[in-house]
């Protein structure tokens, strides 16, 4: 029988981190950040949180990454209080490039239809 606990925990982390970013983190660098996916290791010790930002500017992406890293202690503490886990996973943030890749594909399709 397969164990789906890591996926359930990842979904709960995604939901809670979105809520924490909206309600508890007051850093203006992370206001436009959207959490897109969470991947948790099988032993639930580490979580990689993928995020996207609407801006295409590299400086905005760097600011968002710096803001998320600065707020990671608060986010982890809040996760520890909200989730019923023995140990709160270590969290790291990565920029999700799938949104930009999808936009690039859409633009290429639109250009094909123009010709």
Q: At residue 2, does pLDDT exceed 80?
A: no
**Residue found under tokens 């295409």:** 56
Mean per-residue pLDDT over the chain, rounded = 89
Among residues 33, 5, 18, 31, the alpha carbon closest in space to that of 75 is found at 18
Mean pLDDT of 97-113: 86
pTM for this entry: 0.84
4-113 classified as CATH 3.30.300.20:
yes
Residue 56 — very low, low, confident or very high, per pLDDT cuts 50/70/90? confident
Residue with tokens 């600011």: 63
Give long-range contacts, CB 8 A cutoff, 24+ apart: 64-68.
Answer: 64/29, 64/30, 64/32, 64/33, 64/95, 65/93, 65/95, 66/29, 67/25, 67/27, 67/28, 67/29, 67/30, 67/33, 68/30, 68/33, 68/93
**What distance in Å separates the CA atoms of residue 88 and residue 81, rounded to the nearest whole number?**
9
pLDDT at 18: 93
Domain ranges of the chain: 4-113
């Amino acid at each position: 029988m397969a164990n789906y606990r890591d996926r359930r925990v990842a979904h709960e982390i995604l939901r809670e981190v979105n809520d924490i970013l909206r309600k508890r983190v007051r850093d203006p660098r992370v206001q436009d950040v959207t959490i897109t996916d969470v991947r948790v290791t099988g032993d639930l010790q580490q979580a990689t949180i993928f995020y996207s930002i609407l801006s295409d500017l590299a400086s905005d992406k760097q600011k968002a990454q710096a803001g998320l890293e600065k707020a990671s202690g608060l986010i982890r503490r809040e996760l520890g209080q909200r989730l019923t886990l023995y140990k709160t996973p270590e969290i790291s943030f990565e920029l999700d490039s799938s949104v930009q890749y999808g936009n690039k594909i859409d633009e290429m399709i639109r250009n094909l239809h123009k010709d």
